[in-house]
Every structure is written in structure tokens, then in C-alpha cells.
């Protein structure tokens, strides 16, 4: 499990995050939604230990961070990129693991391509593949799907859901997209800006996600409920 307690952040005089406390169960998928500048990205970086905070974060030691712009090395091929994090973590059997990971995201056959030759969706699949290959206990996702077009986005949401059910990691997703949060999560945290804090947590009761739940009345109801709560801050 991931336990966030008394986490806060000030940037000079500005209070970016007011005390945040949140427990995330092992294997849970949680989303954080909120308007721009509410500190959700900062919160994710505090969890990742990229930003200091007076509070404490307890988390398993094997994790991965997936960035908005896929963060690939442009001078490395697909093969080189999928092996990057294994190199940094000194993982054994890089070749074999890379081959499996690429096949899982449908990038086999593209081993010798460079990132600039891939579509936005393929880049994100590669970014997810190189993280999953580490066999992480938790994954932090910082608006990973915001750079792809709407159709690809829904397909990637479904793929991400499949990865989560298959590999059983804990996931924390920061997103602007409410439907995405509802589709993927067990719980959705709503953050308010200035200072950033979690004002509400909405449980998502769906047992299994298939593309058709997006058309169900209960799905729209949840999306509208969360949108309504966010609108209060405008």
C-alpha cells in the first residue's frame, strides 16, 4: 500500500499544497483530477520523491513513473528505449524481457525504429512497456494520454486497464480527463486549487471495464457528478 501523510508544499510564499493525507490500497487504481495549477502534478512528484515535502510517503520500493510526453531518448531505437530503465535499475535478462514487453504492446517489428518515426500512441505504448518491464509494484502516471488524439486515447485507456488487471500494480493517475478517471479508477480524488487539497473522493463501483460502460447512464452520472464538484472552483 501507499500511505501519504501530512504532505504539503510551499513554493516560496505561495502555498501549493495544503496538508494531504491519502491511503491507497495495494493493487488499487486511483485518479487525481483537478484544474490546472491545483498541485496534482506536484503531489505526484512528492510521492515519486522528485520534490521534497515535510510530510511522509510510505511506498513499496519498486516503482515506475510515466510522463506526459512519453520521455523517450530520441537517439535510441525502440529496442534501446525499452531497455533504458532496466539498464538504470541493473535488471538481468534485458533482451528477453524487452522482447516480451514489446510484443505485449504490439511494437514487435519496430525494434530498430526511432521515436520520431512512431505515432503518439505508439510512443506512449513504448513508455508504458519500458515501465512495466521493471515489474513495478506501483506506477505513477502524469497525464500520460493528454498528447494523443481522442480515438487513440480511448484505445490506450482500455490497454492500460488490461495492463493493470494483468500485472496487478498499484496505480496513481493524474489527469484532466474526467471520463478517463472514471473509466480506469477504483476511486477518483478531486483536488481544489490555491492551496491544492483533496476535497472529495468519489468511489467508482464498476467491477469490470469494457468499452461499452462508457455509454451506460451510471457512467455519465459519475462523470457529471465529478464535473459538478470541479466546477465549484471556477
Partner 1 sequence: MEVKKIVPPVLILVLFLGSWHVGALIYNMAFLLPTPYAVLQTFINDFTIIMIGLKQTFQAAFTGYIIAAIIGIAVATIMSLSKILERSLYPYAILLQTVPVVAVAPLIVLWFGFEIKSIIIISVIIALFPIINNTLLGLKSTSKTLVELFDYHNTSKLTSFWKLRFPAAIPNIIAGLKISAGLSVIGAIVGEFIIGSGSEQGGLGVQIIYAQANLETSLVMALILTATMLGFAFFITVSTLGWYLLHKWHESEQ
Interface residues with partner 1 (CB under 8 A) are 45, 48-50, 65, 67-69, 71, 73-75, 84-85, 87-89, 114-116
Q: How far apart are CA 207 and CA 204, in angstroms?
A: 9
Angle at the Cα of 77 from the Cα atoms of 75 and 82, rounded to 5 degrees: 115
Please say which residue, 93 or 210, places its beta carbon nearer to partner 1: 93
The smaller minimum CB distance to partner 1, of residues 34 and 115, is found at 115
Please, what is the minimum distance in Å from the beta carbon of residue 71 to partner 1?
Answer: 5
Contacts of residue 220, Cβ cutoff 8 Å, sequence gap at least 6: none
The residue among 83 and 226 lying less far from partner 1, judged by its C-beta, is 83
Whole-angstrom Cα distance, residue 132 to residue 156? 15
Q: How far is the CB of 93 from partner 1 (least distance, A)?
A: 18
Name the minimum Å distance from CB 226 to partner 1.
28
Give the nearer residue to partner 1 in terms of CB position, either 50 or 227.
50
Supply the minimum distance, in Å, between the C-beta of residue 74 and partner 1.
5
Q: Kindly provide the b/e burial profile for residues 160-196, where b requires at least 16 CB atoms within 10 angstroms of the residue's own CB.
A: bbebbeeeebbbbbbbebbbbbbbbbbbbbbbbbebb
Amino acid at each position: 500500500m501507499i500511505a501519504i501523510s501530512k504532505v504539503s508544499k510551499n513554493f516560496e510564499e505561495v502555498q501549493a499544497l495544503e496538508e494531504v493525507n491519502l491511503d491507497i490500497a495495494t493493487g488499487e487504481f486511483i485518479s487525481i483530477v483537478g484544474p490546472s495549477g491545483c498541485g496534482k502534478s506536484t503531489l505526484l512528484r512528492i510521492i515519486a520523491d522528485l520534490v521534497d515535502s515535510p510530510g511522509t510517503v510510505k511506498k513499496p520500493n519498486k516503482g515506475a513513473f510515466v510522463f506526459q510526453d512519453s520521455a523517450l531518448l530520441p537517439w535510441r531505437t525502440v529496442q534501446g528505449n525499452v531497455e533504458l530503465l532496466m539498464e538504470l535499475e541493473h535488471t538481468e535478462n534485458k533482451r528477453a524481457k524487452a522482447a516480451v514487453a514489446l510484443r505485449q504492446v504490439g511494437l514487435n517489428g519496430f525494434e530498430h525504429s526511432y521515436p520520431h518515426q512512431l505515432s503518439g500512441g505508439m510512443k506512449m505504448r513504448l513508455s508504458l512497456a519500458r515501465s512495466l518491464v521493471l515489474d513495478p509494484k506501483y506506477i505513477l502516471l502524469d497525464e500520460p494520454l493528454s498528447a494523443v488524439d481522442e480515438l487513440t486515447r480511448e484505445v490506450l485507456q482500455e490497454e492500460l486497464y488490461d495492463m493493470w488487471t494483468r500485472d496487478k500494480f498499484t496505480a496513481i493517475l493524474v489527469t484532466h480527463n474526467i471520463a478517463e478517471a472514471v473509466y480506469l479508477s477504483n476511486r477518483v480524488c478531486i483536488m481544489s486549487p490555491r492551496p491544492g487539497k483533496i476535497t472529495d473522493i468519489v468511489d467508482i463501483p464498476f467491477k469490470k471495464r469494457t468499452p461499452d460502460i462508457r455509454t451506460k447512464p451510471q457512467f455519465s452520472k459519475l462523470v457529471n457528478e465529478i464535473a459538478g464538484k470541479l466546477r465549484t472552483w471556477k
